[in-house]
């Protein structure tokens, strides 16, 4: 399972400096575009929410299923690389799925032990940090401790996914269905 926490940050450079002092290794910087597809009728049929995500990074296109586990910040996820974005978009649209959110971001990635850390700049929507670990346990204490070391107060940390926040902001009918 993916176990994740997030926070909106004001000073990206300060967070990067703190991560470096903790021994985090910067592993890259990239531009990403994510297309999120869903269908409320399918949520009703299967009894839980999920997203089908197409992620574009340069020439690389990846398809992912991100499913609810009914626990905020805990996801079931499967990923597969695809060959062609236009064909993938056409297939999902022809299946009746709705592209409810398209998010463009600049991402800086770090690794600290078994924690993956992403700083995501969504341009007009803000800058966020996400910490993730893969675990059989849903214990988030390690991630909370990392955020505390980075000077991020517990009140600023959230378990909801970015997409949930975007859906709530735009009053989307999908917002009431999405469980993180």
Alpha helix stretches (DSSP H) within the chain: 12-21, 40-46, 85-94, 141-149, 162-169
Cα separation, 171 vs 176, in Å, equals 9
Q: Indicate the pLDDT class of residue 164, thresholds 50, 70 and 90.
A: confident
Average pLDDT (38-65) is 92
Domain ranges of the chain: 2-169
**CA-to-CA dists, residue 111 to 27, 131, 137, 160, angstroms:** 7, 9, 20, 22
- pLDDT at 180 exceeding the cut of 60: no
CB atoms within 10 A of CB 23: 10
Does this model's pTM top 0.85? no
> For residue 73, what pLDDT band results from cuts at 50, 70 and 90?
low
What is the token pair recorded at 59? 């020439």
State pLDDT tens for residues 81-95.
999 999 999 999 999
Q: Which CATH class is domain 2-169?
A: mainly beta
Closest by CA position to 100, among listed 49, 47, 29: 49
Please check the confidence at residue 68 and state whether its pLDDT lies above 80: no
């Amino acid at each position: 399972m993916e176990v994740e926490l997030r926070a909106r940050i004001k000073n990206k450079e300060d967070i990067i400096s703190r991560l470096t002092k903790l021994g985090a290794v910067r592993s890259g910087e990239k531009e990403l575009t994510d297309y999120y597809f869903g269908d409320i009728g399918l949520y009703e049929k299967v009894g839980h929410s999920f997203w089908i995500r197409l992620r574009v990074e340069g020439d690389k296109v990846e398809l992912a299923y991100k499913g609810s586990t009914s626990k905020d910040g805990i996801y079931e996820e499967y990923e597969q690389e695809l060959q062609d974005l236009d064909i993938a978009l056409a297939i999902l649209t022809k299946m009746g799925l709705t592209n409810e959110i398209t998010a463009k971001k600049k991402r800086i990635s770090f690794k600290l032990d078994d924690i993956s850390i992403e700083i995501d700049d969504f341009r007009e929507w803000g800058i966020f940090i996400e910490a993730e670990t893969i675990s059989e346990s849903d214990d988030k204490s390690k991630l909370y401790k990392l955020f505390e070391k980075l000077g991020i107060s517990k009140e600023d940390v959230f378990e909801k996914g970015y997409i949930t926040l975007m859906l709530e902001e735009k009053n989307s009918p999908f917002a009431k269905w999405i469980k993180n």
